[in-house]
Structure 1
């Protein structure tokens, strides 16, 4: 069983206080074992029915994931855990495309994007913000793949509390609407100007180099096979997968 994924003691101590209490129905089986099984499926990309027996019945693992996704308990747990740490002053915003597995195609509304954020804002195509020191995500959003990155910038950032002082993003977020929104909140925009601008905005190149943190964060998340490739037809289940991986 050495190849199986199990939550470490430190990871469990950070997750356990945020588990839901007093839910209706029968008492839950071992939460640590079931969540470890969910993480194993997300990491390896195996089918739910093929989850190793050490985690318990595959139906239990699948039902726990989908029911908590529908409520949405995973997303609320992620938000509480992200809010538990210190508020970052410097945020990175970025998006990434996620390929859809054939089992996830032909769904109503098309394929989606993901966006992640810190106490700022984060991506099937998704933008994501993370803490600039650790590259830890603090917010995610999933949208159809035909939605431009800039459309999700303000919605992601609005849900985050101050004191954000700097936002680092690439050229996809160079829009006057976003720059004005940041200026009203006294947040410094570290965003390179598009080549079409007659008068480019000044860019803090030293700060912009730190944008690699959010790119590396997406690289780590995409080591999880069910994050790198969307297997699930429901956008809320994919968002729940991001939330669980972001723990």
Structure 2
């Protein structure tokens, strides 16, 4: 899931539970408009040289700490920005307030994608409603 700077969901991809996040990360990044984005924050699970290069090719900075088994040190990681990545976790928690999203009763992927899309729309609608 990708969120904006305020933690509002902007894009998601539904995968099987046994698929690693780094496998679908390039597809998620390709769906995003990164023209107004300076930095892409992610956790250690997205530590990949290929993914970092993909982010750099979009003229963005990758703020991803290295895994513990890498020989690189985390000298280039902005830890203040890294702490802000909890916005993704908060967005997932807000979506799980919807029972159909939290329990996934839907058998088909397309039906569950529609349910998550509706929940994201309701989150955004709540933001618009508060501004009225």
Same fold (TM over 0.5): yes
Q: Name the TM-score, length of structure 2 as normaliser.
A: 0.85
The structure with the largest helix share of the pair is: 2
Aligned-residue RMSD, C-alpha:
1.1
CA shift for structure 1 position 209: 1.3
Partner of 1:149: 21
Partner of 2:116: 242
Question: How far apart, in 2, do the equivalents of 1:185 and 1:141 lie?
Answer: 20
Say if 1:194 and 1:200, in contact at 8 Å, map to a contact too.
no
Q: How many residue pairs end up in the alignment?
A: 119
**Structure 2 unaligned regions, length at least 5:** 122-132
**Structure 1 unaligned regions, length at least 5:** 1-127
Name which structure has the greater RCO, CA cutoff 8 Å, separation 6+.
2
Say if 1:171 and 1:193, in contact at 8 Å, map to a contact too.
yes
Q: Name the TM-score, length of structure 1 as normaliser.
A: 0.47
Structure 1 segment 203-214 matched on structure 2, within 5 A: 203-214=77-88
CA shift for structure 1 position 163: 2.2
The structure with the largest strand share of the pair is: 1
Greater than 6 Å deviation, 4+ residue runs: none
Structure 1 segment 148-187 matched on structure 2, within 5 A: 148-161=20-33, 162-187=35-60
